[in-house]
Structure 1
Amino acid sequence: MSERLLMVESELDTLFLVSQLLNSTHDLRSKLKGILEILHKRSGLHFGMITLRDVDDDSMSICEIYGDGIDRSIRYQPGEGLVGAILDEGSTIVVERIADEPRFLSRLGVYNPDLPFIGSPLAIEQGEVVGILAAQPCNAKFLGERARFMEMVANLIAHSVNMLRVMERKQHELASERDYLKQTLVKNYRFENIIGHSEPMLKVFDIIRQVAKWHTTVLIRGESGTGKEVVASSIHFNSACANGPFLKLNCAALPDTLLESELFGHEKGAFSGAIGQRKGRFELADNGTLFLDEIGEISASFQAKLLRVLQEGEFERVGGVRTLKVNVRIIAATNRNLEQEVAEGNFREDLYYRLNVMPINMPPLRERIEDIPELAAFLLNRISKQQGGRALEIKESAIRILMKHDWPGNVRELENRLERAAIMSAEGIIDREVIASTGLESEIGISRNTYAVKHVDLHDENMDERERVIAALEQSGWVQAKAARLLDMTPRQIAYRIQTLNINVKQI
């Protein structure tokens, strides 16, 4: 077989090995070092060098070079020496004898001046040069073929380098976006962003500032809509585990079987539909915070499973046998009277004490009416953003109406009412008339027994469900069975509505 054919076979074999190495899971530097070793041992291309271009100043720094005791700190500027010329021209340069090339600077001091030198650019899309592959053949035979072979290797390397740089850029963008979102979250959940300067809220602030310092279990108590989740978020983002995950779960939203899988995870095949292994919230929240809302709704059987995790910090996935340990801060919330639930045997006493290490009692809005002007301004700003930055203004006459209401739905009800008012205000100005158009004045009259509800049409399409139920109760003297008949409901149905709509039942 001729020498040329032997060289071609060797080059094909080398290209295959180079492709395999570039497709491996090694890091880039290890890949480039391996490529130079392959070129040296299998293709007679010695002192192989790969430089990469600095994106900031266009200079070239040595990424890898085959050989020992070589100064790797050398940098090449555009136009400087042969390497700089390749960078400038963006094309392969072949030198038959280094000693005859005036551009060769011999800064590395390793190349044989009597042998050839080949340098090929690592070029990507639109001819952009990201680096250079250079080596010294062991003789001057077939330099044209050797140069084409070097170009093929350089193209493979350039593709891999470009892919890595694209990935690094995307990772940097994602990291920047993550940091921005994290900073935004921290900013949004600073203690100052919990609205209110009333005496009850100042007491809450004092407690959460202290609680945030320690890795202790917190139980946030209060009626629905009082801002329990906001307080939980503030505790997390102002604590030592702020850089860890913050996960939430509404315990009332899932049955026991799904709740167990959601919190503890499951193994593949643990139940019908478990097509793969899944981590639960406890596992995902490791070294962070897990917020368990509506904790008073979990069943007695699940209470025992939860107690074990709180006591020992360990659990098994559903269908699993391996015990997992986690370090998770628990913040729980409930609107139930847990002491009564314990007394009636509905809630485990040991779990109650495990959760109630540091209680925070959120005051209902009716007990901090003086916070309404500040809350209204804050909520309107949020509604404005939701409506595309629309200018919204609330008048003092509207604020006075808002401060007369009992707000059984608390801050959530206030936000809903303001959003409804914003929608109904064509000019974005919310005054007494706009507030009245939402039905609030009528509702205030109902709650204070100053409005003639007996004359209210229960089938009025402008009334929402809560208003309709209150009107029926007033009309029937707050006898639920009579009110149910007026609304074509069963006593059980109206009792459920009263509970879910947070209606305070009058004792007459």
Structure 2
Amino acid sequence: MNTHLAQRPAMPTRVELYDGQLQALSGIARILSREPQFEVMLTQILAIMHNDLGLLHGMVSICDQAQGTLQIGAIHSDAQTVVHARETVRYRIGEGVLGSIVKNGSSIVLGRISSEPRFLDRLALYDLEMPFIGVPIKSQDGSIIGVLAAQPDSRPDSMMADRARFVEIIACLLSQSVHLVVNQEDGHQVKNERDELRREVRAKYGFENMVVGHTAIMRRIFDQVRRVAKWDSTVLILGESGTGKELIASAIHYNSPRAHHPLVKLNCAALPETLLESELFGHEKGAFTGAVKQRKGRFEQADGGTLFLDEIGEISPMFQAKLLRVLQEGELERVGGNQTVRVNVRIVAATNRDLESEVEKGKFREDLYYRLNVMAIRVPPLRERIADLPDLAEFLLSKIARQQGRKLTLTDSAIRLLISYRWPGNVRELENCLERSSIMSEDGTITRDVISLTGLDNDSQPLTPLPDIDLGDDAMDDRERVVAALEQAGWVQAKAARLLGMTPRQIAYRIQTLNIHMRKL
């Protein structure tokens, strides 16, 4: 406890008190207008309170709403123990005198500290036989953002209320500065959370999660995506429904320099043409019935980032002309408006249609096709990379297992059944099949018996055996060729060796060195 109080004239008159407060206010105003650093500003103001007003050991505490605590932002003291203690001392909202001020939003004036059992004295700074004044620091909306406290250098007298009111005036002057600091700290927290979310998104759409498998065609796609992601070139993703075109679009965006800007998606087939124009270009207030206010379209929302236009082959020739202008000029007009709006957007489009054939039939504009077809990425159907199915199934099953919070496994007989199917719905159908099968599995082991394939029990959609893979394809590497031979041979090594022109000993050596997991069917 500090008993060395500053020597003050005994019992100043009210006129003397007001005159001293007025001079102090002038000094505090100069500090607030000139000192940009928050902590330095607080230190100087608390020094004026201590030296000129007899309000000793002034302390400013700041609320941390996220943690529900009050921490000391500044304190006037020469004692190093107090200076160090301020770094660790915290008060929960509602705890002690300071916490009560925050909770109740009202000042507390004590005639003698020792008479108040709530006073915690964690800093061992104040004279417990002397008065204490604590007032809330409020933001403009009335919320409590901190506390200003000090100890008068004289015992309670008729002017204690005047001193308390003056401390409240100083708290009002500090309000804006404390508010900025609180918001800055909240901004840092939001920034940290945002950066963490970005890391999670980048991990989710990282290249290693985008392409699962070892076939040459998927490695080629992996390389194309990695290369094109670095530039702003327009990308056209071609492939059947369910092959993962949207996943590739996301991977391109989140691995590009535009990753910190929006990725906006629109399924062009989901909206009629009348709504599609407003959705993409936006509209002005009163442009049509129901347009009660101005609205930015997807192009403006994606400014600086990427716009993914799925099912681009479904838009009409009339709308294709409007879209072409935006792609060529980088500018648009909202529906019902005449002001030109410039946008900086990277376009990634996708379709399951054969656009070249659509151009020949006159159903798709040739100039728009070439504007979109700067970098084309064709995603193969699952039946064309069936050698990847075991790895893909394991990847999807691990995702489902995390969602269900349990371990899931596939038996070899189940994998063999999956391999024999043609997968018209591609990867989406495979994922749905695995989720359906996991639901039917009580112990988490997915066997052949719990798998239900579309058309498996339907005579109109019989299971079709897959064609043999050309083992002489130069695009295949050694691992793919061996795996393909094993698949065709039903995972019988001797038969696979004959298909490859090898001896059983040679293929056994290849299986070991290429780290191929043998399946027992």
Q: TM-score range by the shorter chain?
A: 0.5 to 0.7
Question: Deviations along 1:205-241, whole A, 9 cap, x unmatched?
Answer: 1111111111100000011111101111111111111
User: Matched residues in 2 for 1:51 and 1:403: separation?
Assistant: 72
User: Matched residues in 1 for 2:296 and 2:410: separation?
Assistant: 47
User: Matched residues in 2 for 1:271 and 1:393: separation?
Assistant: 55
**3-state DSSP of counterpart to 1:333:** strand
Question: Deviations along 1:232-260, whole A, 9 cap, x unmatched?
Answer: 11111111111111111101001112111
User: Matched residues in 2 for 1:389 and 1:171: separation?
Assistant: 34
The match for 1:500 is none
User: Matched residues in 1 for 2:370 and 2:326: separation?
Assistant: 14
The match for 2:315 is 298
The match for 2:273 is 256
The match for 2:406 is 390
The match for 1:400 is 416
Asked if the contact 2:306/2:345 (under 8 Å) is kept, the reply is yes
The match for 2:335 is 318
Instruction: Name the CA shift for 1:302/1:45 in 2 (closer, same or farther; >3 Å).
Output: farther
Question: Structure 1-normalised TM-score?
Answer: 0.63
The match for 1:191 is 207
Following superposition of structure 1 onto structure 2, how do residues 83-482 of structure 1 map, counting pairs within 5 Å? Answer: 121-123=134-136, 130=146, 132=148, 143-154=159-170, 156=172, 167-168=183-184, 170-194=186-210, 195-386=212-403, 388-435=404-451, 440=456, 446-448=462-464
User: Matched residues in 2 for 1:167 and 1:60: separation?
Assistant: 14
**3-state DSSP of counterpart to 1:381:** helix
**3-state DSSP of counterpart to 2:325:** helix
Question: Deviations along 1:59-92, whole A, 9 cap, x unmatched?
Answer: 65499xxxxxxxxxx9986757xx9xxx999677
**3-state DSSP of counterpart to 1:347:** coil
Instruction: Name the CA shift for 1:311/1:147 in 2 (closer, same or farther; >3 Å).
Output: same
Instruction: Name the CA shift for 1:351/1:166 in 2 (closer, same or farther; >3 Å).
Output: same
Question: What is the one-letter code of the residue matched to 1:400?
Answer: R
In the TM superposition, residue 153 of structure 1 has moved relative to its aligned partner by 2.2
Asked if the contact 1:121/1:131 (under 8 Å) is kept, the reply is yes
User: Matched residues in 2 for 1:378 and 1:221: separation?
Assistant: 23
Question: What is the one-letter code of the residue matched to 1:373?
Answer: P
Of 275-284 and 158-167, deviating more is 158-167
Asked if the contact 1:294/1:335 (under 8 Å) is kept, the reply is yes
User: Matched residues in 2 for 1:77 and 1:351: separation?
Assistant: 73
Following superposition of structure 1 onto structure 2, how do residues 31-42 of structure 1 map, counting pairs within 5 Å? Answer: none
**3-state DSSP of counterpart to 2:443:** coil
Over the matched positions of the two proteins, sequence identity in percent amounts to: 50
Instruction: Name the CA shift for 1:262/1:53 in 2 (closer, same or farther; >3 Å).
Output: same
User: Matched residues in 2 for 1:419 and 1:180: separation?
Assistant: 29
User: Matched residues in 2 for 1:75 and 1:320: separation?
Assistant: 66
Asked if the contact 1:308/1:314 (under 8 Å) is kept, the reply is yes
Asked if the contact 1:58/1:78 (under 8 Å) is kept, the reply is no
User: Matched residues in 1 for 2:301 and 2:311: separation?
Assistant: 20
CA RMSD of aligned residues (A): 4.7
**3-state DSSP of counterpart to 1:440:** coil
In the TM superposition, residue 173 of structure 1 has moved relative to its aligned partner by 3.8
Instruction: Name the CA shift for 1:167/1:409 in 2 (closer, same or farther; >3 Å).
Output: same
How many pairs are equivalent? 382
**3-state DSSP of counterpart to 2:336:** coil
In the TM superposition, residue 376 of structure 1 has moved relative to its aligned partner by 0.7
Question: What is the one-letter code of the residue matched to 2:388?
Answer: D
Asked if the contact 1:121/1:154 (under 8 Å) is kept, the reply is no
User: Matched residues in 2 for 1:129 and 1:149: separation?
Assistant: 19
Asked if the contact 2:241/2:426 (under 8 Å) is kept, the reply is yes
Question: Deviations along 1:119-177, whole A, 9 cap, x unmatched?
Answer: 9645469xx994648899xxxx9843531321332554677677666655554443333
Asked if the contact 1:244/1:288 (under 8 Å) is kept, the reply is yes
* Structure 2 unpaired stretches of 5+: 1-12, 26-35, 99-107, 112-130, 139-143, 467-521
Instruction: Name the CA shift for 1:77/1:244 in 2 (closer, same or farther; >3 Å).
Output: farther
The match for 1:477 is none
**3-state DSSP of counterpart to 1:359:** strand
Question: What is the one-letter code of the residue matched to 2:382?
Answer: L
* Structure 1 unpaired stretches of 5+: 16-26, 64-73, 95-117, 451-508
Asked if the contact 1:120/1:154 (under 8 Å) is kept, the reply is no
